Amino acid sequence: MPPLPALARSFSRARSVVRSAASLALLIPLAACAGTSGTDRAGAPAAEGFPYTVTNCGMRTTYAAPPRRAVTLNQHSTELLLALGLQDRMAGTAYLDDAVLPRYREAYDRIKVLAKEYPSKELLLAAEPDFVYGGYSSAFDKAQGRDREGLRASGVDSRLNVEYCTDGPVGLDRLKTEITEVAATFGVPERGARLIEDQQRRIDAVTAAVADRPRPAVFVFDSGEGSASTSGGRGIGNEIVSLAGGRNVFADLDRTFGEVSWEQVVERRPEVVLIYDYGGTGVEAKKRRLLDDPALADVPAVKNRRFVVLPLSSAVLGVRVADAVESLAGQLHPGAS
């Protein structure tokens, strides 16, 4: 994450003001995590909080005991389990968009990587998972044999990140839900509570620091040639822009990601372009695509060469949300105090 020398000082002052309120507000959702007593899969006394029942993206699952052999598909599901200190419960992982955060690298390096992208169903089941955690809907592609019902028939429980089954915009409440339910599934609700508190404390510090700053109009450029793939109003990416003190010009697009025409980009006259960094097309190539398009020459963001950058893995519902808000705020408002 880029350094934030100016914001860091103001964030430090703001944190002392917001910490106590944030802590109380965020711990409330965890009260419902405890379940009833029972026995685990091996017949031993059940772990505290089990059986635990949760409905995730339309699938209701009762866990008699915490998963012992989890496989994560997609970066943000992997990093969430690592943030909760669950690397000893991970039988495998797959599909990174970026390098794992340095603070999780040592733990990640001890986990078997099943495939560079998604593993086949056969390779997935060969890891003998009891739980598969997908970050994107594509993790559970039925055509590839990885659908959740099919996994259940094979005796494997699963979870999909709630960003991809939420009715309406995804905000910090959904981040709390995701962390809380995953932590409860693994029997570590107290770790989830600490993680939520840390995320909210850092985000509150940013919003306090930029509260009185003008909110520039931001166009999120994910990719595209004939049209542009951008961040709509339903995903956490839209919320990140808002929390960092910006305004997403395509917040009215009722999708997490969607396609828009370049004519629409011109009409909305963004003041800043936020580039998502990932994959084979680098940031400089994306900048050049915008700068070399005559149709965009008078768009304020392009004309003034005002580009900011976030890795794609920071713009999804996971443990990088606070990192993303801090980084983007520092780029949008370098003089905030």
The two structure tokens encoding residue 320: 């990088």
CB 154 within 8 Å of CB 130 = no
Specify burial of residue 56 (Cβ count, 10 A radius: 0-12, 13-18, 19+). buried
Asked if residue 56 and residue 181 are part of one domain, the reply reads yes
Whether 204 maps to a domain, the answer reads no
Q: Would the CA dihedral through 207, 327, 307, 252 be positive or negative?
A: negative
pLDDT confidence bin for 260, thresholds 50/70/90: very high
- pLDDT score, position 337: 53
Q: Please tell me the number of Cα atoms within 13 Å of 32 on its side-chain side.
A: 9
Residue pLDDT, tens place only, 182-239: 999 999 999 999 999 999 999 999 999 999 999 999 999 999 999 999 999 999 999 9
Asked if residue 257 and residue 183 are part of one domain, the reply reads no
Q: For residue 120, give its domain range.
A: 29-191
Residue pLDDT, tens place only, 220-236: 999 999 999 999 999 99
Asked if residue 274 and residue 187 are part of one domain, the reply reads no
- pLDDT score, position 305: 98
Nearest to 243 by CA among 280, 267, 276, 213: 213
Across 218-240, b (16+ Cβ under 10 Å) vs e yields bbbbbbbeeebebbbbbbbbbbb
- pLDDT score, position 252: 96
Whether 245 maps to a domain, the answer reads yes
CATH number at residue 84: 3.40.50.1980
DSSP code string of 131-199? EEEESSGGGG-GGGT--HHHHHHTT-EEEE-GGGS-SS---HHHHHHHHHHHHHHTT-HHHHHHHHHHH
Task: Assess whether pLDDT exceeds 90 at residue 63.
Answer: yes
Nearest to 77 by CA among 144, 142, 23, 131: 131
Asked if residue 234 and residue 136 are part of one domain, the reply reads no
Nearest to 71 by CA among 148, 127, 142: 127
Compute the average pLDDT of residues 269-287: 95
When divided into structural domains, the chain yields a total of: 2
Place of tokens 């890891």: 127
C-alpha–C-alpha distance, residues 145 and 89, integer Å:
24
Asked if residue 176 and residue 53 are part of one domain, the reply reads yes
Whether 251 maps to a domain, the answer reads yes
Nearest to 79 by CA among 105, 55, 60, 53: 105
